[in-house]
């Protein structure tokens, strides 16, 4: 079956790095995504990684993918108070009949000044 | 601005009442989705649609109905509201390819529904 697991909470100090981890079960997933949800808002796509990549960097964001262990992580460098939000990991399957993403429960990141 | 528009933003319903949550997108996306979000439970798929006239059940469809008469609109209907339907509801849409460069979903800002 399909399942995406994340820890529910992470607390860091401003300026430190944050690492949010995710595990998934479907080895046929083609793309894996990170979404950010700020309080009272919908989800916004942060970044994605294709399953044949190991790493993707986009400014302060680094995504690491370990296909063997089905482990995905999102590293936020120099974390700011504005990064406080819930971060969702999601996987999709190429050509999946349902066409929907499978989301984790979300990790709430709290950044302390 | 292009995107997904949900109305209303907030609503309080009494048990047994009915209502329709509206969702519209102007990006010509084929796929549309309804999710509910409960604290600590992530997002659960209620219904989805791959195009006008086609809808299908997601993980938690009981108590809800949908229709997709146009590409743009995907309303969610609650017929007999129950306290268990108290939640935040998100509509989303995506391109048919669902892959980069047409990647990911575009979400609406949500409807917070309370059933008392």
Rounded Cα distance, A42 and A101, in Å: 15
Please report residues of A whose CB lies closer than 8 A to that of B40.
8, 105
Q: What is the pLDDT of residues B9-42, one digit of tens each?
A: 999 999 999 999 999 999 999 899 999 999 878 8
Q: What is the pLDDT of residue A62?
A: 97
* Of the candidates A8, A52, A7, A3, the residue with the CA atom closest to the CA atom of residue A24: A3
Radius of gyration of chain A (CA): 14
DSSP letters spanning chain A: ---EEE-SEEEEETTS-EEEEEEE--TTEEEEEEEEE-TTS-EEEEEEEETT-SEEEETTEEEEEETTTTEEEEEESS--GGG-EEEEEEEEETT-SS--PEE---EEEEEE-
Query: Residue B80: is it exposed, middle or buried by C-beta count within 10 angstroms (0-12/13-18/19+)?
Result: exposed
Q: How confident is the model at residue A97 (pLDDT cuts 50, 70, 90)?
A: very low
Confidence of residue B99 (pLDDT cuts 50, 70, 90): low
A6, A22 Cβ separation under 8 angstroms: yes
Among B90, B112, B76, B91, which Cα is nearest to B31's?
Answer: B91
> What confidence category does residue A32 fall into, taking pLDDT thresholds of 50, 70 and 90?
confident
The phi, psi pair for A19, rounded to 5°, reads -130, 120
Residue A101 sits at the chain B interface (C-beta within 8 Å): yes
User: A64 CB contacts (<8 Å, ≥6 apart)?
Assistant: A54, A55, A72, A73, A75
- Give tens-digit pLDDT for B59-89: 899 999 999 999 999 999 999 999 999 999 9
Pairwise CB contact (< 8 Å): A50 & B31? no
How many beta-carbon contacts under 8 Å exist across A and B? Answer: 58
Give the span between the Cα atoms of B109 and B41, in whole angstroms. Answer: 18
Cβ A31–B42 below 8 Å, yes or no? no
CB-based contact (8 Å) between A77 and chain B?
Answer: no
Which residue of chain B comes nearest to A9, CA vs CA? B40
The tens digit of pLDDT for each residue in A48-96 reads: 888 888 999 999 999 999 988 999 999 999 999 999 999 999 887 655 4
Is the alpha carbon torsion for A101, A103, A109, B1 positive or negative? positive
């Amino acid at each position: 079956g399909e399942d995406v697991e994340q820890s529910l909470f992470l607390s860091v100090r401003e300026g430190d790095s944050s690492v949010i981890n995710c595990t998934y079960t479907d080895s046929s997933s083609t793309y894996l995504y990170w979404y950010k949800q700020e309080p009272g808002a919908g989800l916004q796509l942060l970044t994605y990684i294709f399953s044949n990549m190991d790493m993707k960097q986009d400014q302060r964001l680094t995504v690491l993918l370990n296909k063997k262990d089905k482990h995905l992580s999102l590293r936020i460098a120099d974390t700011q108070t504005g990064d406080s939000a819930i971060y969702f990991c999601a996987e999709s399957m190429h050509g999946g009949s349902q066409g929907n993403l499978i989301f984790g429960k979300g990790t709430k990141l709290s950044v302390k000044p | 601005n292009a995107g997904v528009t949900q109305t209303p933003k907030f609503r309080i319903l009494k048990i047994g009442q009915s209502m329709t949550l509206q969702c519209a997108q102007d990006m010509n996306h084929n796929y549309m989705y309804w999710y509910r979000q409960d604290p600590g439970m992530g997002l659960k798929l209620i219904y989805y649609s791959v195009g006008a006239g086609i809808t299908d059940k997601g993980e938690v469809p009981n108590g809800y109905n949908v229709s997709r008469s146009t590409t743009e609109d995907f309303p969610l209907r609650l017929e007999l509201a129950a306290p268990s339907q108290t939640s935040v509801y998100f509509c989303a849409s995506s391109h048919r390819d669902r892959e980069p460069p047409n990647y990911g979903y575009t979400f609406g800002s949500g409807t917070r529904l309370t059933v008392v």
